[in-house]
Structure 1
Amino acid sequence: MTKGFVALGSNLGDARGQVLSALDALARLPQTRLLGRSSFYVTPPWGVLDQPDFINAVAHIDTALSPHDLLDALLDIERAAGRVRDGERWGPRTLDLDVLYLDGVAISDERLTLPHPRIADRAFVLLPLHDLAPDLVLPGQGRVADLLTHVDTAGCERLP
Structure 2
Amino acid sequence: MAQVYLSLGSNVNRAQHIRAALAALAAQFGELQVSRVFESEAVGFQGDNFYNLVVGLRTSLPVGQLALCLRGIEDANGRLRAGPKFSARTLDIDILTYDNLAGTVDGVKLPRGEIVKNAFVLQPLAEIAPQAVHPIEEKTFRQLWDEYDRASQKLWPVEFTWPEW
Q: Normalization by structure 1: what TM-score?
A: 0.90
For residues 109 and 67 of structure 1, do their structure 2 counterparts lie closer, same or farther at Cα, with a shift above 3 Å needed? closer
Matches of 1:82 and 1:26, distance apart in 2? 16
- Give the counterpart letter for 1:41 in structure 2: F
Q: CA deviation at 1:17?
A: 1.8
- 1:41 matched to 2:44: no
- Give the counterpart letter for 2:120 in structure 1: F
* 1:138 partner SS: coil
Matches of 1:151 and 1:89, distance apart in 2? 25
In the alignment, what sits opposite 2:48? 52
Pick the aligned partner of 2:101 from 105, 108, 116.
105
- 1:145 matched to 2:142: yes
In the alignment, what sits opposite 1:8? 8
Matches of 2:122 and 2:149, distance apart in 1? 9
Pick the aligned partner of 1:61 from 53, 57, 61.
57
Q: CA deviation at 1:19?
A: 0.7
* 2:31 partner SS: strand
1:18-29 superposed matches below 5 A:
18-29=17-28
RMSD across aligned positions (CA): 1.6
Q: CA deviation at 1:109?
A: 5.4
Matches of 1:76 and 1:54, distance apart in 2? 21
Q: CA deviation at 1:139?
A: 1.4
In the alignment, what sits opposite 1:72? 68
Q: CA deviation at 1:115?
A: 1.1
Write the deviation string for residues 96-123 of structure 1: whole angstroms up to 9, x where unpaired.
0000011132331583111112310110
Q: CA deviation at 1:26?
A: 0.8
- Give the counterpart letter for 2:144 in structure 1: L
What are the ranges of 5 or more consecutive residues in structure 2 without an aligned counterpart?
160-165
Contact 1:121 1:151 in 2 (8 A): no
Matches of 2:87 and 2:67, distance apart in 1? 20
Q: Normalization by structure 2: what TM-score?
A: 0.87
Matches of 2:124 and 2:140, distance apart in 1? 14
Q: CA deviation at 1:144?
A: 1.1
- Give the counterpart letter for 1:33 in structure 2: G
Whose helix proportion is higher, 1 or 2?
2
- Give the counterpart letter for 2:148 in structure 1: H
| Structure 1 residue ranges (4+ consecutive) displaced by more than 4 angstroms after TM superposition | none
Contact 1:40 1:55 in 2 (8 A): yes
Write the deviation string for residues 11-57 of structure 1: whole angstroms up to 9, x where unpaired.
01x2022111101111122xx33331000000111111x10110001
What are the ranges of 5 or more consecutive residues in structure 1 without an aligned counterpart?
none
